[in-house]
Structure 1
């Protein structure tokens, strides 16, 4: 049981990088970016092929996988900003094309890394700690670094303009900012994080698969919503940007812990997609129900 929970926490942290990418597009820009599913698999496929077929150092391969995800985001950005294709359709087009591209990259439906070194195995060999623990530590360090960098970046002038684009695009244009540039930058950063997550997950599970990104956007949304719901329970809620980023990671860990508990209780693994949909639906519905209940109580007290 403890091993399963540790694995769930590790998965939640590594997937948390994807969640941060989804948070940028979904919460900051209000764009449902469907590129995520394809970019996640692209990151994993790129890392696997570089490590297995070309003997590239895992750390360098991971960086290349992150850049590949950024390129996928740039394609969606070009379709959206230059050719004025609706963002959700542009993401779907990129996602569909990435299925074929990922197959081309790997040359087959999956690429195992069972006999190849990974970032986690190298650190495990160097330090002598178990590989599962090394994965957890490396993932936690990377997540903290990414949150710090994002917190700094979104406090800069261009980062503030990017955040404001999602709030009021017309106002940002009136202030002389090119919103097409901010959208493009957001999509690149978001999908670079998704590609980084895919590359790390690939090394964690020791294989890359053409379908590893299927449903990734749902997991990302579920984690964001769970994190926001938990954040509302805190005194004052999530008022600071840094706390909202951290809440997204917490939501990711909680999501995978829920999955681990359900699997331990005997649920069929094939029902995980259904469980993901139910978790998202509940996380979205519960705050609405609670708010309506509070309103009814306040009206009742006012009548009395």
Structure 2
């Protein structure tokens, strides 16, 4: 069984990675744009927020700057694809590689500690809640605000144009939609959400590190695919809810696997657990459909 601290910690991290899943939903599901920039924009958001907080900038302003930085990184990836005609996957890899050096430049060193600095969490500790409950409450509020805003945006005229661009670019252009602009906007918004997640993660963990983005794309995909296996994404709202549910379930599964003594896993097995969970999330929905089809044939 999970301890109370491990449980709240898993939910807290899951809510942060739910924002990453929102971004991956935009790029992978809406625009069908395989974007690996997130492995660089996640630590970019953390680096920008950490440096500004240490310089005495208000934590919320620093977090907003992290969002803008993430959007800038996504826009660069999209511009490489749209304007320079570089393959989308390769464009995102180029940006991701460049961001490693940029993040080092921003921080001036591989990592920055925030343990003694005021963060967005600091005022919330005065509410009288248990220490481990405060991040969960704040990040839940932020995740819900992001969910509602993204849902409203996807229902707007611009959001519908973006969805049309991802579904059928040729038809979208025939309807007068500037598909290139939609790709740039969508990938920028996607990485803005990831930058927000990175900024919150750094403030939650008390440090920003240049390597903290390694594997974020896999975690986001695991959250997205796992959530869709639990919550059928018949509408945009359900798809966004699936992102949050999938991220929390993913982190709970990781916490359970690493804390269950009878399994015998250790911290160094995290990537193995992640790979197994992603594989199961991909395979299980198809397996359920095959089983239902088999019993349907048997009953005829």
Same fold (TM over 0.5): yes
Q: 2:270 aligns with which of 255, 267, 272?
A: 272
Q: Which residue of 2 aligns with 1:234?
A: none
* TM-superposed deviation, 1:294: 2.4
Question: Which residue number corresponds to residue 206 of structure 2?
Answer: 206
Count of paired positions: 295
Match of 2:132, SS state, is helix
Shift of 1:76: 0.3
Answering whether residue 72 of structure 2 is matched by residue 57 of structure 1, we say no
2:242 to 247, 258, 265: 247
Aligned to 2:189: 189
Cα displacement (A) at 1:122: 2.6
The Cα of 1:270 is off from its aligned counterpart by 1.2
> How many angstroms does 1:118 deviate by?
0.8
1:112-127 counterparts in 2 under 5 A?
A: 112-125=113-126, 127=127
Whole-Å separation in 2 of the counterparts to 1:82 and 1:265: 50
Q: Which residue of 2 aligns with 1:263?
A: 258
Distance 2:71 2:138 in 1: 22
Contact 1:121 1:131 in 2 (8 A): no
The alpha carbon displacement at 1:297 in A equals 2.9
Deviation at 1:263, TM superposition (A): 1.4
Q: Partner of 1:228: helix, strand, or coil? A: helix
Contact 1:222 1:283 in 2 (8 A): yes
Mapped partners of 1:294, 1:129: distance in 2: 47
The residue number in structure 1 matching 2:160 is 160
Structure 1 runs, 4 residues or longer, greater than 4 Å off: none
Q: State how 1:100-111 maps to structure 2 within 5 Å.
A: 100-111=101-112
Distance, in Å, in 1 between the alignment partners of 2:56 and 2:95 is 29
Instruction: Give the gaps of 5 or more residues in structure 1.
Output: 232-236
* TM-aligned CA deviation for residue 299 of structure 1: 3.3
Structure 2: how far apart are the matches of 1:246 and 1:50?
32
Query: Equivalent of 2:28, from 26, 29, 38?
Result: 26
Task: Tell me, yes or no, if the aligned pair for 2:5 and 2:132 is still in contact at 8 Å.
Answer: no
Give the alignment's Cα RMSD to 1 decimal.
1.2
In the other structure, the counterpart of 1:129 is: 129
1:99 matched to 2:94: no
Q: Aligned equivalents of 2:224 and 2:180: distance in 1?
A: 25
Tell me the equivalent position of 1:230: 230
Q: Distance in 1 between matches of 2:84 and 2:218?
A: 27
**What are the equivalent positions in structure 2 for 1:63-102 lying under 5 Å apart?**
63-102=64-103
Q: Deviations over 1:35-72 (max 9, x none)?
A: 001000000011111112x1111111000011100000
Instruction: Return the alpha-carbon distance in structure 2 between the equivalents of residues 143 and 189 of structure 1.
Output: 15
- Separation in structure 1 between the aligned mates of residue 7 and residue 143 of structure 2, nearest angstrom: 19
Separation in structure 2 between the aligned mates of residue 256 and residue 60 of structure 1, nearest angstrom: 28
**8 Å Cα contact 1:44-1:208 kept in structure 2:** yes
Q: Aligned equivalents of 1:170 and 1:301: distance in 2?
A: 44
Task: Specify every segment of 5 or more residues in structure 2 that has no aligned partner in the other structure, as ranges.
Answer: none
Where in structure 2 are the equivalents of 1:171-182 lying within 5 Å?
Answer: 171-182=171-182
Q: Distance in 1 between matches of 2:192 and 2:178?
A: 22
Distance in 2 (CA, whole Å) between partners of 1:169 and 1:300 is 42
Q: Which residue of 2 aligns with 1:282?
A: 280
CA contact 2:74–2:187 (8 Å) conserved in 1: yes
Q: Say if 1:120 and 1:131, in contact at 8 Å, map to a contact too.
A: no
